[in-house]
Amino acid sequence: MSHKRFRILRRPTMNISIIGAGSIGATLASKLSACGHHVKLANSRGPATIVDIARQANAVAVSREEAVSDAEVIILAIPFANHTDVATWLSNAPAGVTIIDTSNYYPFRDGAIAEIEQGKPEGVWASEQLGRPLIKAWNAVLAATLADKGLPDGAAERIAIPVAGDDENAKSIAMALVSDTGFEPVDAGQLAESWRQQPGTPAYCTELSPAELKAALQHADKARAAKNRDVLLDEFMSAGETLTHDRIVARNRAVTAPR
């Protein structure tokens, strides 16, 4: 696969709505608001349930319907199976909004989805459920990595994050926002290629440099990915309290390494 260079659009302030107030959504809200963006935060249970989380992130707690009404960017930080419930209220979002999906498919949690089990990339399936084009970003980073390991633009040790999608303008916006959160964006190709950053691949939650990430995307093995994902998940769930962040990263690297 090739890695086309994208011109990253730098916009000083954007209206960003984040759907999902878990560890990924809350961290993104905090980081993006700190960069000067206007951030709204919503979840499925209503704004009253996330007032404190939003306040800590310097964001505004709103309903999902309010979140999408005037957004320039919508970030979905929701369980993967919930995409099927999102299309109705997302239909009220502006036509040109950039939608970024951070989710990952785990059958034990989401239930087996036949099309994905048969090889359809998660991002393509999610886009079809929403009836909207998607950019895939921040899905291949652990919550603790996102929260604690971001570095300023230009830092030599910056961790890279893959960004996949079909629309050049939307991808450029997503890449600029990835940079705002402290990570080096790497073009990971079209949405159909986003399987290369799904769980069980060398690009997934392995904290790589840009050069290392590009090689990992290139050497991803689609036939091994689901098996790797399940092996790692079983190991992590059985580890209990002995599981550390560094061990997760090390095991992801070891199990998914190209053969």
**Residue 10, domain member (yes or no):** no
Residue type, 255: V
3-state secondary structure of 152: coil
**Interval 30-42: pLDDT, tens:** 999 999 999 999 9
Give residue 11's pLDDT. Answer: 57
Q: Please check whether residue 54 lies inside any domain of the structure.
A: yes
Does residue 222 lie within any of the structural domains? no
Give the pLDDT confidence score for residue 5 in this predicted structure.
46
- C-alpha to C-alpha distance for 74 and 19, rounded to whole angstroms: 7
**Distance (Å, rounded) from C-alpha 182 to C-alpha 151?**
5
Residues of the chain where predicted confidence (pLDDT) is lower than 50 = 2-3, 5-8
Position 225 in a domain: no
For residue 10, the model assigns a pLDDT of 54
Structurally, the chain folds into a number of domains equal to 1
- Does residue 228 sit within a domain? no
Token pair listed for 110: 């989401």
The pLDDT tens digits for 51-75 are: 999 999 999 999 999 999 899 999 9
Residues ≥6 apart with Cβ < 8 Å to 57: 26, 29, 30, 33, 39, 41
Other CB atoms within a 10 A radius of the CB of residue 247 amount to: 13
Within a domain: 123: yes
Structural domain boundaries enclosing 124:
15-192
Find the CATH number of the domain harbouring 78. Answer: 3.40.50.720
201 belongs to a structural domain = no
Inter-residue contact 75 to 18 (CB < 8 Å)? yes
Q: Is 250 contained in some domain?
A: no
pLDDT recorded at residue 88: 85
Instruction: Look at residue 126 in the predicted model and tell me its pLDDT.
Output: 96
Q: Report pTM.
A: 0.94
pLDDT value, residue 27: 98
